Structure formats: C-alpha cells, structure tokens
Amino acid sequence: MTARVTPYLNFGGNAREAMEFYHSVFGGTLDITTYADLHRAEDAGQENLVAHSMLKGAVGVILMGSDTTTAEAHGPGGSFSVALGGDETHLTAYWHRLSDGGTVTVPFAKSAWGALHGQCVDRFGTSWLVNVTAGSST
C-alpha cells in the first residue's frame, strides 16, 4: 500500500485566480468545480466560488484547493509550507514565478547544506519551500 500527501489550499474568494496562477506555473491540467456546479451555493454570492479544484502539474506537482464560504473561515498561510524538490532547471523557473509579487523570506541561493534553497510567500498567501535535490543540478 502506498500513501500520498497532497496540499489542499483554502482561499477567501480568489481560489480560481490562485489555481489558474499555479496552473500557469506548473502546467498540466486544472479542473475546477464551483458551488453552483454542485448546487451547494447557499446564496448568489457563493455560486462562482470554487468548491473544489485539482491541478495535476506537468512534472508531478499536485495541488488541490477551494474557497471558504465565509471570510471568518479563511486564514492564509498558517503553520505549513508547500515543499518543492527536484531538478535545478524546473525549480529555478518555479521559484521565479512563485516569488513574483510575493515576499521572499529566504533568497534562492546555495544553502549551508550545499543545495539551492529558498523560501517565499506567494501573492496568494501560500508559503513555499523550494529545494534543489542533491545531485540534480544541471
């Protein structure tokens, strides 16, 4: 038996914009279902909110996300980071896209352990930890 951990991101009304942004970064396919699609909207303001979305990126990245239905239920960031590992070529490109318009908390540079590493919070409030896997530099 195998298990897989997939980040499920919550947004306060901008899940579609965020997931489309991640789709532009990682490529692949993006499926979005709204509350209206599921006939679950409690009022007209919720109809276009994202009830569920799934991004299957071109090189193995999988992200899921949705909008919360109340502002009180949404708190961006939190006590986690989405960690990306892999080869230098892909991760350098991802780093530049994810950090653009966000906040760099640790610059993408050679770390004390020798790998390229950086941390940022993107413009949607998601924390990212990007680390080039040892021996995968091009």
The pTM (predicted TM-score) of the whole model is 0.87
pLDDT in tens, 20-55: 999 999 999 999 999 999 988 788 888 899 999 999
What residues contact residue 33 under an 8 Å CB cut-off, 6+ apart?
50, 51, 52, 53
Measured from the Cβ of residue 89, the count of other Cβ atoms closer than 10 Å reads: 12
The number of residues making up the chain comes to 138
- Which amino acid makes up residue 78? G
Q: Which of 36-40, 72-76, 103-107, 126-130 has the lowest mean pLDDT?
A: 72-76
How far CA 10 is from CA of 1, 59, 68, in Å, comes to 28, 23, 6
